[in-house]
Structure 1
Amino acid sequence: MQGGLSAKLLILTIFFVLLAEILIYIPSISNYRLTQLQDHLSAARTAALVLDAAPEGLVPRALELQILQQVGARAIILKRGNARRLLAFSDMPPTVSTTFDLRDASRIKSVFDAFATLFGTGPQIIGLIGDAPREGEFVEIVMSDEELRASMWRFSLNILLLSLVISIFTAALVYLSLLALFVKPMREISAKIMAFREAPEEPSAIMAPSDRQDEIGLAERELRRMQRQIQTALVQKTHLAALGLAVSKISHDLRNILASAQLFSDRLSSVSEPTVQRLMPRVIGSINRAIALCQSTLAYGRAAEPAPNPRHVRFKMLIDDVGAALGLGEGYPAWINEVDDKATVFADPEQLYRAFLNLGRNAVEALRAQPPRNGGAIRIAMRASETSVIISMADNGPGIPAKVRDKLFQPFAASGNKGSGLGLAIVAELIRGHGGTITLQPSPVGTLFEIELPAQTTGRA
């Protein structure tokens, strides 16, 4: 793959190996130069012993030139006390351009001197000073740096070739190791991710993690867990889509049936019998709510809950209507409305009615499924402050299992007792639309929900 991870790793490996070789080369070339110069001085000290011991003028000129050639110098000088003695020299003592004292040469200066010699222009005559034999103060030689420079370039070329060989060999080993340990597993993970993207609903698309215990193995296991969660979410969403389509069809037909029932109820409202006159307003109200709910259900697949149309609502009366719709009153379980007669909330009455109808239905089902010994009861209360209204609904039923509390307001998370699992999700959406919150509060017995609404809400939060 062009520009892939493996190519980048190979380039970086070669680069860092070459960088390491350069860092090794810098002190190496300096030490090589010092070694070469020390060899010249060592040969000069030996020659100085011979030349200094011989009587002056008795050393043949040919032997003197041969000694200079062996030392690689043009002149050998010995300093003893205040006297400097020229022990040997070529035809004419050359002019020295630079003198290096190797007795106290620092490492940093030696590095700069080495590169100055290596990249110098043309042959130069240099002087070298080192320790003298016997009681002499120092020995000095005068030489050309031409041969030294050529030798240093040969050494550098050998180092370069060796560095290239080591770099290629090391880079190949590192590259193959990284390819096997990291790049190949990452390619496999990438391929499995792309396969999952093409068919996320297929169980075979979920990757099978390896037995590795390192970060790659951890990534594989976490990816598998994430793929399972995504697949589960897709199944739920597909189920929701199918359910929504079915509910829309049912709601469409139910709306037509309810429209007919509304016509009949309108005719019954004209009957003068007292019981009919007392019950028909609630019947008509229930039918109207059912028709409105069917219309909202038909629009559910196209949008979320419609924005609330808030107004001041007599809350005690609304709770009484909820209790009547649930068939409660003097029967079981007890429906205890503790809301003050004059208490109002600023909310959409239809949406608020639906929210408490869902909460009440859940409580009734729980109490009838597991009746408490002292009798079941559902209690609704309300308290207000300057900024909010807090409404509580409590029952003394079996309570909500701990395993579903974290996902209580998600679709299908809290289904039970023949419920669809959508009731609390709908309640949470309706309350959020008013800018409020619904929470499950700790309670020693049964279930306690608290709904907090702003003191005055003008729309969806």
Structure 2
Amino acid sequence: MWQQSQAGWQTDTGAGSVMQHRLRGLSGKLLWLTMAFVMLAEVLIFVPSVASMRLRWLEDRLNTAAAAGVVIDGLQPAELPRAVQDDTLMATGTKAIALRKDGTSRLLAADHMPPQVDAKYDLSDVPAFQSIGDALYTLLFGGDRMLRVYGPIGDSDMIIELVMEEKGLRQAMLAYAQSVFSVSLMISLITASLIYIAINRMMIRPMRRLTHSMQVFAENPEDPARILPPAPGNDEIALAGRHLALMQEQLQKTLKQQRNLADLGLAVSKINHDMRNILASAQLMSDRLVDVDDPMVKGFAPKLVRTIDRAVGYTSEVLAYGQASEAEPKRRRFRLAELCQEVRDILAIAPDSGIDFVDSVAADIEVDADSEQLFRVVHNICRNAVQALANHRLDDPGALRRITLSAQRIGSVVAIAIDDTGPGLAPKARENLFTAFRGSARSGGIGLGLAIARELVLAHGGTIALVEKPGPGTLFRIEIPDRPVALGDWRVRA
């Protein structure tokens, strides 16, 4: 029983804290601001209305006294008995009543005339701002003054005058102000409640939903169930919700890619250790082949040594991508044709494969670059082209399978073009062409080759791009600029 009571108390406390939080939050501020603005509007309406009420009250007294004055004036020259005068003064709430007619003034009724009058008001012509000022003064500071009020009787030339205390007027104005305040407070509460309910449904609830989704998603960003379900509608909050859901999906994909990259790095680091040992042994054996007298061995041994040396270098730098930038290029001027020939030798395209490798690079073209890094770039693209052509099934057996490697120097820039007649790239591969793990140019690839090639070219201050061409296949263009020459070095060469 005690536990049930405690649970009920906790529920009540939780509900109370939620209500307290909402009243202190944006919805509570909106409620208070709405009430304050409605009350301000009521105050702006109240000031002229209380001034109008004051004039109406004085006019009512003046009209009552005018009716009695006209009757009494018809009885002249007889004088009213004292009792009748007292009843007339009590009915009009005045101290004295006088009537002006034909230039003469007649005191119709009077009782205990005050020694002086503190203020006088002509109701025939009352300016609006003066009426508001007089009303505020009476409401805030009045009550003890003696007033003289006068005005015309209808359309005649007669004028009725009253002498009265301000106390009754102030009490009537205070009662009117209290009534207006009560009605204004009720209107402000009803208006604020309606606005609060409407804004809470249209804005506060959706915003609270967005905030809750952010908090829940932040606790476990990899959980697909925590992505915000898009809400229907075309307003700004619904649009923000859809953008938030899209951002959460993209963030999950990025986190998944980073996790895959971390797993890949761990796996490669394990393989890398054993691979370096194997390549080191192969390097020792290949060094011994140089001493063999066989002419055929002497022909391919240097190429084998260079290939194994490159493999050793790659295993030493295999973890560089994604963890650190590539090494700074060690640039020098060399003949591009020699590098292209070496790429062709390493590819070792079989004569019966049907793939024709055309090397049209002029022998005199020199490029200012890191030979090893540029080799990796050209070799990566050419190897992709060979694999694409080898896996491509042609409808026409006699169709051409060709890779064309060409280059030209334009001023201080060497442009290298690698063109193939393969199937080309899929639209998805084009969208993420140079993005690691997403821009694979062939089926089964991991998408690192072009990403590494782009990084190496950018390190040289160059560009690499896929060029549109009318026929089938792909065309990559690589541009490598020469290093800026210092003025002192140029003078030495000159």
User: Does the TM-score normalized on the shorter chain lie above 0.5?
Assistant: yes
324, 333, 356: which is aligned to 2:345? 324
Structure 2: distance between partners of 1:336 and 1:99: 115
Between stretches 392-401 and 203-212, larger displacement belongs to 203-212
Aligned in 2, Cα 1:238/1:46: closer, same or farther, shift over 3 Å?
same
Residue 274 of structure 1, CA deviation: 3.7
2:390 is aligned to 368
Between stretches 249-258 and 329-338, larger displacement belongs to 329-338
202, 207, 232: which is aligned to 2:253? 232
1:418 is aligned to 444
429, 434, 438: which is aligned to 2:455? 429
Structure 2: distance between partners of 1:376 and 1:293: 30
Structure 2: distance between partners of 1:385 and 1:96: 108
**1:279 partnered with 2:306:** no
390, 395, 400: which is aligned to 2:425? 400
Contact 1:399 1:447 in 2 (8 A): yes
Per-residue CA deviation, residues 236-283 of structure 1 (Å, 9 max, x unaligned), is 222222122222222222222111111122111223444433333322
Contact 1:312 1:344 in 2 (8 A): yes
Q: Which runs of 5+ in 2 are unaligned?
A: 1-17, 486-494
**1:222 partnered with 2:222:** no
**1:455 partnered with 2:482:** yes
Residue 295 of structure 1, CA deviation: 0.6
Per-residue CA deviation, residues 397-445 of structure 1 (Å, 9 max, x unaligned), is 2222234322222223233333222222222222233333322222212
Per-residue CA deviation, residues 259-318 of structure 1 (Å, 9 max, x unaligned), is 111112211122344443333332222211111111111444642333333333433322
461, 464, 471: which is aligned to 1:438? 464
Contact 2:122 2:149 in 1 (8 A): yes
Residue 386 of structure 1, CA deviation: 5.2
Contact 2:96 2:113 in 1 (8 A): no
Structure 2: distance between partners of 1:337 and 1:126: 117
Counterpart residue identity of residue 398, structure 1: P
Structure 2: distance between partners of 1:34 and 1:391: 97
SS of the residue 1:119 aligns to? helix
Aligned in 2, Cα 1:359/1:131: closer, same or farther, shift over 3 Å?
farther
**1:91 partnered with 2:91:** no
Q: TM-score, normalised by structure 2?
A: 0.82
Between stretches 68-77 and 349-358, larger displacement belongs to 68-77
Aligned in 2, Cα 1:208/1:33: closer, same or farther, shift over 3 Å?
same
Aligned in 2, Cα 1:92/1:381: closer, same or farther, shift over 3 Å?
same
1:175 is aligned to 196
Counterpart residue identity of residue 244, structure 2: L
Identity %: 40
The within-5 A match list for 1:280-299 is 280-299=301-320
Counterpart residue identity of residue 182, structure 2: L
Structure 2: distance between partners of 1:80 and 1:342: 128
Structure 1: distance between partners of 2:61 and 2:479: 96
Contact 2:89 2:110 in 1 (8 A): yes
Aligned in 2, Cα 1:189/1:70: closer, same or farther, shift over 3 Å?
same
Structure 1: distance between partners of 2:172 and 2:208: 50
Counterpart residue identity of residue 433, structure 2: L
Aligned in 2, Cα 1:61/1:240: closer, same or farther, shift over 3 Å?
same
Contact 2:143 2:170 in 1 (8 A): no
Q: TM-score, normalised by structure 1?
A: 0.87
Q: RMSD between aligned alpha carbons?
A: 3.1
Q: Which runs of 5+ in 1 are unaligned?
A: none
1:345 is aligned to 367
Per-residue CA deviation, residues 53-73 of structure 1 (Å, 9 max, x unaligned), is 331452334433432332233
Structure 2: distance between partners of 1:84 and 1:388: 115
Counterpart residue identity of residue 477, structure 2: E
Between stretches 305-314 and 207-216, larger displacement belongs to 207-216
Residue 79 of structure 1, CA deviation: 4.4
How many residues were matched structurally?
A: 458
Between stretches 87-96 and 410-419, larger displacement belongs to 87-96
Structure 2: distance between partners of 1:454 and 1:34: 93
Residue 44 of structure 1, CA deviation: 2.9
Structure 2: distance between partners of 1:289 and 1:283: 10
